Amino acid sequence: MTITRRETLGLGLAAVTSLGLGTVMPFTAQAQSGGGDSYEVEGGTITIHPIAHASFVMTTPSMTIYCDPVGEASAYSAHPAPDLILITHEHGDHYKAETLAALVGENTRLVTNPAVHAMLSDEMKAKATAIANGETTTVDGMEIEAVPAYNTTEERLKYHPKGRDNGYVLSIGGRRVYIAGDTEDIPEMRALEDIFIAFVPMNLPFTMDVDQAASAVAEFKPAYVYPYHYRDSDPQAFADKVAASDAETEVVMGPWYG
């Protein structure tokens, strides 16, 4: 039996589980839809368009958001120009000055962590706001909270030191969207509440393994979670572990690679 993304949302999680389909959205349905994954919020919809690895486009009732856009600008040509670009940290798979220069328009705003803000050209800085862990800003009525993103395992501390990099929680249409950035299963992640959609990384040695990621998701219990930034990690193993928990979180597989 094949269930599309739209049909899955209409049935609800309990009905899908009763059909023996688990909580994982089939990759084929994602790939065939072509229009992204849509979620109803107050005032309209949030639609998610994975681009690659940690880069994605999200449209909301009021704006188009690019998160950590890197790679060729042509990868974004099918999407509206960005009203807002979020950058979590300085690593090359999250921040690329040349890509930004090609994508930023006259009215584009940027929100970055302080380290990336310091790297921006004067022209880009004029469009940008830097927020550090625990700080908030508002863009066109949408609150953006910078949450910590860091490593905790001794041999990984050099990749993402505590206090430098951001994750983000966005408040959109009465819902909260969590973009983890590069991080392990830190206490600040586990303590999150009322998350509607989450993006969680899992690749070693830079972030965390599948067990850490699934354990954290089982604790903060988002309604939907996208495994992203996973490269050679096994997102199906992650999904199986989440399904075995009591989180009732739907794992959504996006076409991040290939």
Measured CA to CA, the distance from residue 211 to residue 213 in angstroms comes to 5
Residue-wise pLDDT for 36-90, tens only, equals 999 999 999 999 999 999 999 999 999 999 999 999 999 999 999 999 999 999 9
Quick check: 13 pLDDT over 80?
no
Report the pLDDT averaged over residues 206-231: 97
Which residues, 6 or more positions from 211, have their beta carbon under 8 angstroms from its beta carbon?
241
Measured CA to CA, the distance from residue 147 to residue 188 in angstroms comes to 8
Residue-wise pLDDT for 161-195, tens only, equals 999 999 999 999 999 999 999 999 999 999 999 99
Residue-wise pLDDT for 136-145, tens only, equals 999 999 999 9
Residue-wise pLDDT for 82-136, tens only, equals 999 999 999 999 999 999 999 999 999 999 999 999 999 999 999 999 999 999 9
Query: Which structure tokens are listed for 149?
Result: 């993103």
Q: Which of 24, 25, 88, 78 is nearest to 51 (CA)?
A: 78
Quick check: 9 pLDDT over 50?
no
Confidence of residue 1 (pLDDT cuts 50, 70, 90): very low
Note whether 99 and 81 are within 8 A (CB).
no
Measured CA to CA, the distance from residue 177 to residue 157 in angstroms comes to 26
The residue with greater pLDDT, 59 or 3, is 59
Within 36-83, strands assigned E span 37-41, 44-52, 55-59, 64-67
Which residues, 6 or more positions from 6, have their beta carbon under 8 angstroms from its beta carbon?
38
Report the pLDDT averaged over residues 3-7: 32
Quick check: 29 pLDDT over 60?
no
Which residue is it, tokens 């959609």? 197
Measured CA to CA, the distance from residue 232 to residue 122 in angstroms comes to 38
Task: Give pTM, 2 decimals.
Answer: 0.87
Please calculate the CA angle 89-113-250 and round it to the nearest 5 degrees.
65
* Percent of the chain whose predicted confidence (pLDDT) is above 70: 87
**According to the model, what pLDDT value does residue 35 have?**
76
Tell me which H or E stretch contains 175.
strand 175-179
